[in-house]
Amino acid sequence: MLGTKKNRYLLTGVIVVGLFITWLIATSKPAPAARPIRLPPVPIVDVLHIQPGSHRVWIETQGLVKPKTQIELVSQVTGRVETIAEQFSAGGFFAANEALVSIEESDYRIAVSQAGAQLADAQQLLATEKGRARQAKREWRDLGNSEANDLFLRKPQLASAKAKLLAAEAGLEKAELDLSRTRVSAPFAGRVLSKRVDVGQFVSQGTPIAQIYSSDIAEVRLPLTAQQRQNVSVSGSQPSPVKLIARYGNNEYEWDAVLARLEGAIDSSSRQYYFVASLPQAFSDHLDDAGILQKPGLAVGQFVTAKISGNYIDNSFLIPRSALRQQQKIWVLDNNRLAYIDVVVIQSNDDTALVQLADMSKAKNSIAVITTSLSLALDGMAIRERSIVLRDLPEKQDDVTATQVSPE
């Protein structure tokens, strides 16, 4: 009993001594030094200072080459095809009024001879009637009567003879015209697209002989959206220039064309406008003095890319494409702070974007466009400028080549 109490006192003493030692260690340990609070570093960004300018818009589109004039050549007479010209084949060039097909002439030469004989008979008949009319007039005068009968004076017979002469002359003219039409030609210089007849084939009046087109002017029908349409005009004394680009293998070639007209209706399905570009002498190869090919000619149906010279856009900014952010915004530096600015994208390509400020009251001043990408960009956050790059644009600039952008 006594031993048990002694053990309890001993255990209590050990616990008290342990607690005292723990308190002593805790109170004697020095307090940790206070650490200063570190603020996140201010982002350093690249800034491009851009002045507002007047930029010409170049609108890129595509189209197919077509001739301005394309017709179906038909025979105006009936007969057998006797000869065809050497160039009368698909792709052949021909001159204006050059005989492409000759139809057998024999029947038409005979018709000319017969018409000539009928004309001679009509001339003889008229001469005879004129003599008879004069004789009748003398006889009536010898009778002493004051008024003569038209029939007695042979006036109806004379009028009939004159009418027969006119008919005979017309018959000869028609026969000669049919004879000339055995020589089939086109009224313009051009090229054969396809031929329909060959030597020995019998053709009737109205039979298609070939499809041909004029080689003087080529046209390209170019679709534009409503947004593109507002930047293009065809009115005025100076037509808008158009660059046509075609690829042959690994090489690209350019042709200088002009906007000739705007079609009178929009496409009902696509709701697009159609402009027509025109360029002369585009179907022939261009050779140098040594006869070496410098630029191949365009072909009907060939696909080309077109860059249309549009209007100047005043108070616009040409910025790097990478500086255009989501939802049609850009970041700018404003008193060492990041600010969002809403813009209207006129055009852009892989490298640049042509924009106007949504608030045009600010468009008179330069803007400091941030070109650096930030993982976190908050409106009003502090930033620092790394370098200053000045871009002073001239009042008018013609080197904005871009494709259409549809804002998302």
Within 200-257, where are the H helices?
226-229
Mean pLDDT (the chain) is: 85
- The structure tokens 């049919």 sit at 178
Give pLDDT tens digits for 259-315: 999 998 998 899 999 999 999 988 888 888 888 888 899 999 999 999 998 888 888
For residue 329, how far is the Cα from the chain centroid?
Answer: 31
Helix and strand numbers, DSSP H then E, in the chain:
4, 24
Strand runs (DSSP E) across 190-337, as ranges? 190-195, 202-203, 208-214, 217-224, 241-248, 251-262, 273-280, 286-287, 293-295, 303-320, 329-333
Q: pTM for this structure?
A: 0.69
pLDDT for residue 244 is more than 90: yes
| Alpha-carbon span 302 to 42, nearest angstrom | 57
Residue 42: pLDDT band with limits 50, 70, 90: confident
pLDDT top residue among 363 and 295: 295
Please give the helix or strand (H or E) that residue 14 lies within, else none: helix 2-28
